[in-house]
Amino acid sequence: MMQSFTAHYGYSRTFQENKLTLGLIHPLETYQGDIPNMDIEHQMNLAKLAEESGFAALFVRDIPLREPAFGDVGQIYDPWIFLSYLAAHTETIALGTASVITSFRHPLHLAKSAASLDKLSKERLLFGLATGDREIEFDVFGVDHGKRATLYQEAFHVMKKTWATTFPYIQTNRITLTGKTDILP
């Protein structure tokens, strides 16, 4: 996927030596209650304004389920779909996940989604990962909360290897790649 972080467009735009850069997290405005105003046209206008104003990056959070007691759904759209839409409506601003939950997503799907978005957006993806923290989501997805660190490490290892190796050999509890298949891009 990428040879060096410093050569990556999104990284170099956002992380500059001796320079303060600012990014924003969607939704780009305050709101009442636990559901933000996610009128897509309004959000794209705000994203374009952020880009024109010189902000380095736009980030979205991966919060799969609404739990009103938590008080914040983050943003309502799937992060990959929303970032793709943002990529199609902006040109230079870096686009990031703040962060994608590795406990509920298969590592091979994460690897393909991240590589695809990075390629289609001309290297604008900043890829943040997390284990997840809302226990109710672990119950709903049938994932043992105590295994979140192991799932994170597996996802990180699998993604890194699939991006660095063609036709990789990877053997984990959930993945058996035997060197006969590859993930593109």
Strand partners, 24: 58
| 91-123 pLDDT tens trace | 999 999 998 999 999 999 999 999 999 999 999
Confidence at residue 4, expressed as pLDDT on a 0 to 100 scale: 65
Work out the pLDDT band at 45, boundaries 50, 70, 90: very high
Domains of the chain are 5-178 (3.20.20.30)
How do residues 46-90 score in pLDDT, each as one tens digit?
Answer: 999 999 999 999 999 998 888 888 777 777 889 999 999 999 999
Q: What is the pLDDT of residues 117-173, one digit of tens each?
A: 999 999 999 999 999 988 999 999 999 999 999 999 999 999 999 999 999 999 998
Determine the pLDDT at residue 49: 96
**In whole angstroms, how far apart are CA 22 and each of 46, 50, 81, 115?**
15, 10, 23, 24
